Amino acid sequence: MEEGTTTLTFHDSPLTELNFGEDPIVVVTAVPAEACDTCGETVIDSATVDHVNELVKDARYLWHRFPDRLQAEGVTVGGEPGEKDGVIRVDYDRTELPVGRANVG
């Protein structure tokens, strides 16, 4: 195993209980991972998985409620809230979204 990074893509919403409408695809880049030098399969530790899940939840929440706050370093937005097939690209190392929806308001 070698240290490296991977890219994760999220098509399904973790916010389905809130039912805001069309959810964007969220692509998280530069996620720290260990990669098998033989087959390329990646392994991500649980703390990183937790952080990625928070980034995805926060990005989708901001997309629907406060889209102007998605203008953070390391975030690229394609599309508009409510449109089908929107995409948010989030760089794992460079993005600091308001973590936790209690901090947005």
Instruction: Please report whether residue 69 resides in a domain.
Output: yes
Provide the strand spans (E) within the chain: 2-10, 25-35, 42-43, 75-78, 87-91
**Domain count across the chain:** 1
What's the pLDDT at 35? 92
pLDDT band at 104 (very low <50, low <70, confident <90, very high): very low
Sign of CA dihedral 12, 70, 84, 7: negative
Higher pLDDT pick, 14 / 65: 65
pLDDT band at 90 (very low <50, low <70, confident <90, very high): very high
Instruction: Please report whether residue 104 resides in a domain.
Output: no
- Chain length of the chain: 105
What's the number of CA atoms in the CB half-sphere (13 Å) around residue 56?
24
What's the pLDDT at 34? 95
Averaged over 46-52, what is the pLDDT?
94
Residue type for position 58 = D
pLDDT, tens only, 9-37? 998 655 445 545 577 889 999 999 999 98
pLDDT band at 45 (very low <50, low <70, confident <90, very high): very high
Instruction: Please report whether residue 36 resides in a domain.
Output: yes
Contact assessment for residue 13 and residue 26, using Cβ atoms and an 8 Å cutoff: no
Domain carrying residue 37: 2-94
Instruction: Please report whether residue 102 resides in a domain.
Output: no
